[in-house]
Amino acid sequence: MNSFSDRLIEVLKEKGSPVVVGLDPQLQLLPSEIKVRNFKRYGRNFRGASRSVLEFNHRILDIVSPHVGVVKLQIAFYEALGPHGIESYLKTVHLAQKRGLLVIGDIKRGDVGHTAEAYAQAHLGEVDIDGLTAQGYGVDAVTLNPYLGWDSVLPFLKAAEVYNKGLFILVKSTNPSSKDFQDRRCGAERLCELVARKVNDWGSGLVGKSGYSAVGAVVAAGAPVLGRRLRRLMPRAFFLVPGYGAQGAEAEDMRHYFNADGYGAIVSSSRAITFAYKEQSWKMKHGEKDWEKAVEDAVVRMRRDISRVVDNRR
């Protein structure tokens, strides 16, 4: 199997777009028809909610898989539904991979020692059940939190190497409070720049044929000047860029997140695509019963908007 970055570039070439669809199924936003049917069958409880989520994801995947090569699952929305929710997470990973998509588990874990090893093996590798190995969550990449430093990342680096998986390490978010710590000056640079330098180091042993590393960075949309600086600090890293659409960032702001080769960033949108029928811009055209058409229109428009920026960059 090829390294993660090579697999990523392959799927981006095939689909012709760096768009990532986020499957963040907030229960209250799911179309009623799905919830009514599943609550009737399984109960208005964690089981019925988890089955609703799974059906919703299944239908989203059928719509978006011709248009995008990568999906991102925010595990919080599955974890919130307990064991049944985790079951739907696992099944969604499987459904997406069956369609040839790469799956990023947005878990933002960060811990040390045996705990970090347990997370790394479970999410990227295999779990040892007293000598028998069992497949873990099986995603293609995960997001991580860097606060604990190198040894919290090491077990994931090892798993990434053994299983050809990828990591995206949280460098810069654009929530207002990212200034609390990420933007603090620590000597000559901001904390997020120190993190970026480490991300670049950590990924130096996992560079694929493409020249890109399996260790990428989460760099939120909407920070164009800093984005250019981070791009220089991490030339081989893929940026996972959340916050497009619902969080108000513009495609143009991301121009310098891409390298001159047109690669180097993947741009994720969740609510603005999967719940497009609730968005101001689509709800005049598509009502709730046309929610699937709204999803398709939204993903096609996002592809177009992002392509314009990438093509200009090339």
Show which residues are catalytic.
Answer: 108
To its own copies, the closest distance from the beta carbon of 12 in angstroms equals 25
Are 170 and 230 in contact by the 8 Å Cβ rule? The answer is no
Q: Is 188 or 260 the residue whose CB approaches its own copies more closely?
A: 188
Q: Is 112 or 162 the residue whose CB approaches its own copies more closely?
A: 112
Q: Which residue(s) pair with 82 in the sheet?
A: none
Q: Is 138 or 227 the residue whose CB approaches its own copies more closely?
A: 138
Can you tell me the distance from the alpha carbon of 110 to that of 144, in angstroms, rounded to the nearest whole number? 6
Can you tell me the distance from the alpha carbon of 167 to that of 180, in angstroms, rounded to the nearest whole number? 24
Write a three-state SS string for 111-166. Answer: CCHHHHHHHHHHHHCEEEECCEEEECCCCCEEEECCCCCHHHHHHHHHHHHHHCCE
Can you tell me the distance from the alpha carbon of 209 to that of 141, in angstroms, rounded to the nearest whole number? 18
Are 118 and 79 in contact by the 8 Å Cβ rule? The answer is no
Instruction: Indicate the length of the chain as a whole number.
Output: 314
To its own copies, the closest distance from the beta carbon of 312 in angstroms equals 30
To its own copies, the closest distance from the beta carbon of 228 in angstroms equals 22
Nearest CA to 204 out of 150, 284, 143 is that of 150
Are 263 and 11 in contact by the 8 Å Cβ rule? The answer is no
Q: Is 16 or 29 the residue whose CB approaches its own copies more closely?
A: 29
To its own copies, the closest distance from the beta carbon of 313 in angstroms equals 28
Can you tell me the distance from the alpha carbon of 310 to that of 39, in angstroms, rounded to the nearest whole number? 43
Within 8 A by CB and 6+ apart from 256, the residues are 224, 227, 228, 231
- For the chain, the C-alpha Rg in angstroms (whole number) is 19
Q: Is 62 or 112 the residue whose CB approaches its own copies more closely?
A: 112
Angle at 167 between CA 163 and CA 172, to 5 degrees: 180
Q: Is 137 or 258 the residue whose CB approaches its own copies more closely?
A: 137
To its own copies, the closest distance from the beta carbon of 250 in angstroms equals 19
To its own copies, the closest distance from the beta carbon of 148 in angstroms equals 5
CA 303 from centre of chain? 16
